[in-house]
């Protein structure tokens, strides 16, 4: 009998203990609640119907805690509420007792949720999408390839996923192990449904644009052009003197690097910079770095602009086509094997001089073709192959001389995305980039020279690159990025032939070419460290080892970025950058059409080295006002310039003997404001800047304003949407003129050098563009009609300058800006399906 009573007692004790241990595992439906720790514990006791005892004085009640709605366990909910509190949880007598402890309560076991953010019905990865856990506010952002990784406690979570140009979506998951999950967003068909990520703590000072920001900028062909939209940003300008290339913070065009899917583009524009190298229909995102440079970037000391293109629709065939007065373009994408292999083809062709003679002051044609194939091997591996060909021809006829230029780009890229684990992502790339540039100048010399002479100049280059990048998310507060690159370049500097005709057969320049070959090895490492919810720092280092001929160069380049969120709507950032550039783009300072040469750094022309400090401020409010301001100062060593008695393109002396090196400095302030109010939207940007050059052999070594020193640069864009399907916009641009170097005398023979230089401030310019866009749907096809007027006021925004004087005599010199773009209107029709 005694044994029986003891057995019953043991069973009772064991069952009671099991019941108590099962109390924390008990499932129940929790209502959404938010408040102090005490208030949320009170609500939890009601929802779970379990008594919870604690001493309010033992808890930090200043924290605001939230619980999402949904089924959960009592233990998971308590761990979420009490994480970090110096308490322990005890089950006794069918109730929960919270008692004080010497160490903080350990959070529930954590797991990693990772995968890609994709566009619904296409599997197109979405770069820089935000993922936010609604209860705790934990945030992460997808990288440029759409990959994300976020660490969360076990249990049920509500994730809000958003991306500009898409409708936001809330996804509920129950996390009990590491999980690979791709998150899909549906495209926002109407502009007013687009969402923004909000005032996320900045991870860098890069500026991101995307093709879904429709109507923000239309180029002179009427195409929506997100690449050209970078000119609306403060600190960015375009060269007036014909070349039309991007100028950033007073630097020259060669200091701004363009990457197409990670591959360098040497000639990054059509029509003297007025049209970007790629049709908008194939572009996914555009991002520019000029305020700070992550450790992985190099090669452009003023800016790096990354253009990323679509992977191709994995689920169905779709496309876009656009026809305008001056060009035709189309993009077609779809699966070769559904959810496995996709292809994207984009092509554009100018209409030629049949229609362009009223648009341009010269004869111009261009074309580009881009093809990309993507294959998904499995959830962790994706391979991409892409190729690009772009060509341009420009012919300018004046009384004297005639000008012919041809240039092209050819790119090939192999890209492999690999998810190495739950927290790591690896991207490996092989790149080949090639360019050709031909310039022919015909001079009809009067008097004793009764025959015209043509100075034919040809340059080319090829770049081979292999690189890998690793992203490792160690914890929610620490992410490491590291990688390396090897590249080899061959540059054929200008080879000159003097004939009586234009030599358009480029094989004629094969003899006598001077090939310059160099190689470079780069490695980098950086950490992104979050300190609390409002402070982030990103220290990093970039190392280069460069070898050209018998010249070797090594460079350690520290990088630092930090951001601090002052309030829900304000944050500040600070960055310091040391960056180098191995290739010099030497540009003639004399007036006339653009003449440039790429030259590698050498013992005589050392690589450029720049140091920059940037302080930024951002205000982003719920009433749709977005304000940014930056001030910067930078110094650069080993910048290049022409010697006073040199003319680069017209003799065969050593190039290095014609070029001198010196110092540069620049500083300024940039302001940008964007405001949305009902049907109105306004974007304003203003830049106040100074840019200086200093050479020992010019102006007695004193500091002088650089060619691209512009004191004021202003853009104002106003957009109005009277009805849902109609957008009207007006864009006004103003800038101070360039500094032009005028020779004191001019010879009819371009191979005769000029003895002295005189700086002269060019003409102030402004331009007014008008644009209207209307779209409508028919079944599965969306139609958009765009019309507008480019340069309403007919200002010579793009021009070439003619200097008028007499041969070999010094007289008063006047400049004549010959306008290259006329007043023009455009009309385009676009369909997408």
3-state secondary structure 597-643: EEEECCCCCCCEEEEEEEEEEEEECCCCEEEEEEEEEEEEEEEEEEC
Radius of gyration of the chain (CA): 31
More confident: 831 or 194: 831
* Percent above pLDDT 70 for the chain: 79
Q: Please report, in angstroms and rounded to a whole number, the separation of the first and last CA atoms in the chain.
A: 85
- Provide the b/e sequence for 379-394 (b: ≥16 CB within 10 Å): eeebbbebebbbbbbb
Would you say the pTM of this structure is higher than 0.85? no
- What pLDDT is attached to residue 684? 92
Q: What's the pLDDT band for 529 if we cut at 50, 70, 90? A: very high
Which residues, listed in sequence order, are joined to residue 789 by a DSSP beta bridge?
770, 825
Per-residue pLDDT of 749-806, as tens digits, reads 554 444 455 566 677 788 888 888 898 988 888 898 888 887 777 554 444 455 444 4
CATH architecture designation of domain 207-832: Beta Barrel (2.40)
- Phi first, then psi: what are they for 775, rounded to 5°? -130, 150
**pLDDT beyond 50 at 194:** no
- What pLDDT is attached to residue 229? 80
**pLDDT beyond 90 at 513:** no
**Which segment of 216-225, 358-367, 544-553 scores lowest on mean pLDDT?**
216-225
- What pLDDT is attached to residue 13? 42
More confident: 378 or 153: 378
The fold for domain 17-100 equals Phage tail protein beta-alpha-beta fold (3.55.50)
Decide: 816 and 358 in contact? Cβ < 8 Å: no
Answer whether 110-193 and 207-832 agree in fold.
no
Q: What sign results for the dihedral spanned by CA atoms 751, 752, 755, 760?
A: negative
Q: Give the span between the Cα atoms of 249 and 610, in whole angstroms.
A: 13
Q: What is the DSSP letter of 224?
A: B
The pLDDT of 466-494, averaged and rounded, is 91
Which residues make Cβ contacts (< 8 Å) with residue 694, sequence separation at least 6? 662, 663, 664, 665, 701, 702, 703, 704
**pLDDT beyond 50 at 720:** yes
Q: Where are the domains of the chain?
A: 17-100, 110-193, 207-832
Q: What is the DSSP letter of 353?
A: H
CATH architecture designation of domain 110-193: Sandwich (2.60)
Q: What's the pLDDT band for 812 if we cut at 50, 70, 90? A: very low
Mean per-residue pLDDT of the chain: 80
Which residues make Cβ contacts (< 8 Å) with residue 446, sequence separation at least 6? 748
**pLDDT beyond 60 at 829:** yes
Collapse the DSSP code of 7 into the 3-class scheme (helix H, G, I; strand E, B; otherwise coil) and give the result.
helix
Q: What's the pLDDT band for 809 if we cut at 50, 70, 90? A: very low
């Amino acid at each position: 009998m005694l044994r029986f009573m003891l057995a019953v007692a043991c069973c009772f004790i064991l069952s009671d203990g099991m019941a108590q241990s099962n109390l924390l595992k008990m499932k129940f439906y929790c209502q959404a609640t938010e408040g102090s720790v005490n208030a949320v514990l009170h609500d939890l006791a009601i929802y779970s119907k379990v008594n919870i005892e604690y001493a309010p004085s033992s808890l930090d009640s200043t924290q605001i805690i939230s619980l999402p709605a949904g089924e959960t366990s009592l233990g998971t909910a308590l761990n979420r509420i009490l994480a970090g509190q110096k308490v322990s949880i005890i089950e006794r007598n069918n109730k929960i007792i919270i008692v004080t402890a010497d160490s903080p309560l350990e959070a529930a076991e954590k797991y990693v949720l990772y995968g890609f953010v994709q566009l619904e019905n296409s599997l197109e990865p979405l770069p820089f999408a935000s993922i936010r856990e609604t209860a705790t506010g934990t945030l992460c952002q997808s990288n440029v390839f759409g990959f994300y990784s976020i660490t969360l406690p076990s249990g049920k979570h509500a994730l809000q996923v958003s991306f500009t140009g898409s409708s936001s979506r809330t996804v509920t998951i129950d996390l009990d192990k590491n999980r690979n999950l791709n998150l899909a967003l549906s495209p926002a068909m109407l502009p007013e449904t687009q969402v923004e990520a909000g005032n996320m703590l900045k991870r860098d000072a890069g500026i991101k644009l995307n093709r879904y920001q429709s109507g923000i900028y239309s180029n002179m062909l009427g195409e929506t052009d997100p690449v050209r939209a970078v000119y609306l940003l403060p600190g960015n300008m375009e060269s007036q003197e014909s070349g039309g290339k991007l100028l950033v913070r007073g630097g020259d065009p060669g200091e701004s690097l363009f990457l197409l899917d990670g591959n360098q583009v040497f000639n990054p524009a059509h029509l003297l910079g007025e049209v970007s190298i790629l049709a908008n229909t194939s572009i996914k995102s555009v991002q520019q770095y000029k305020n700070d440079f992550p450790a992985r970037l190099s090669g452009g000391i003023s800016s790096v602009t990354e253009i990323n293109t679509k992977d191709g629709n994995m689920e169905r065939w779709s496309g876009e086509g656009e026809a305008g007065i001056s060009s035709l373009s189309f993009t077609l994408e779809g699966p070769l094997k559904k959810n496995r292999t996709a292809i994207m083809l984009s092509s554009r062709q100018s209409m030629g001089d049949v229609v362009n003679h009223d648009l341009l002051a010269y004869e111009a044609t261009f074309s580009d073709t881009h093809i990309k194939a993507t294959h998904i091997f499995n959830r962790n591996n994706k391979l991409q192959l892409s190729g690009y060909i772009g060509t341009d021809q420009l012919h300018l006829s004046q009384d004297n001389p005639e000008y012919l230029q041809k240039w092209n780009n050819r790119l090939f890229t192999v890209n492999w995305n690999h998810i190495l684990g739950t927290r790591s992502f690896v991207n490996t790339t092989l790149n080949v980039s090639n360019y050709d540039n031909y310039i022919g100048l015909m001079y009809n010399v009067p008097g004793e020279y009764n025959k015209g002479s043509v100075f034919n100049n040809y340059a080319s280059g090829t770049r081979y690159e292999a690189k890998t990048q690793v992203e490792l998310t160690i914890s929610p507060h620490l992410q490491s990025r590291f990688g390396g690159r090897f590249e080899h370049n061959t540059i054929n500097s200008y080879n000159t032939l003097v004939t009586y005709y234009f030599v358009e057969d480029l094989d004629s320049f094969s003899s006598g070419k001077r090939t310059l070959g160099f190689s470079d090895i780069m490695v980098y490492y950086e950490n992104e460290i979050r300190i609390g919810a409002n402070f982030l720092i990103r220290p990093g280092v970039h190392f280069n080892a460069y070898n050209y001929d018998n010249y070797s160069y090594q460079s350690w380049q520290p990088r630092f970025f930090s951001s601090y969120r002052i309030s829900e709507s304000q944050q500040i950032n600070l960055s310091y950058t040391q960056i180098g550039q191995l290739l010099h783009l030497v540009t003639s300072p004399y007036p006339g059409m653009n003449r440039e040469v790429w030259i590698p750094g050498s013992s005589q022309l050392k690589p450029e080295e720049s140091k920059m400090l940037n302080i930024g401020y951002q205000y982003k409010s719920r009433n749709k006002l977005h304000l940014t301001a930056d001030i910067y100062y930078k110094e650069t060593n080993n910048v290049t310039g022409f010697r006073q008695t040199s003319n680069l393109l017209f003799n065969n002396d050593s190039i290095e003997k014609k070029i001198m090196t010196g110092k540069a400095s620049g500083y300024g302030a940039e302001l940008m404001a964007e405001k949305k109010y009902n049907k109105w939207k306004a974007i304003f940007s203003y830049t106040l800047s100074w840019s200086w050059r200093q050479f020992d052999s010019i102006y007695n070594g004193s500091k002088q304003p650089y060619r691209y020193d512009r004191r004021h640069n202003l853009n104002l864009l106003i957009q109005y949407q009277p009805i849902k399907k109609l957008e009207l916009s007006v864009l006004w641009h103003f800038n101070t003129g360039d500094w032009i170097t005028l020779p004191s005398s001019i010879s009819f023979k371009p191979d005769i050098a000029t003895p002295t230089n005189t700086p002269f401030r060019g003409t102030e310019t402004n331009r007014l563009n008008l644009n209207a866009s209307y779209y409508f749907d028919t079944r599965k096809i969306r139609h958009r009609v765009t019309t507008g007027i480019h340069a309403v006021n007919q200002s010579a925004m793009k021009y070439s300058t003619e200097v008028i004087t007499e041969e070999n005599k010094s007289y008063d010199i006047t400049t004549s800006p010959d306008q290259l773009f006329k007043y023009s209107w455009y009309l385009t029709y676009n369909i997408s399906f």
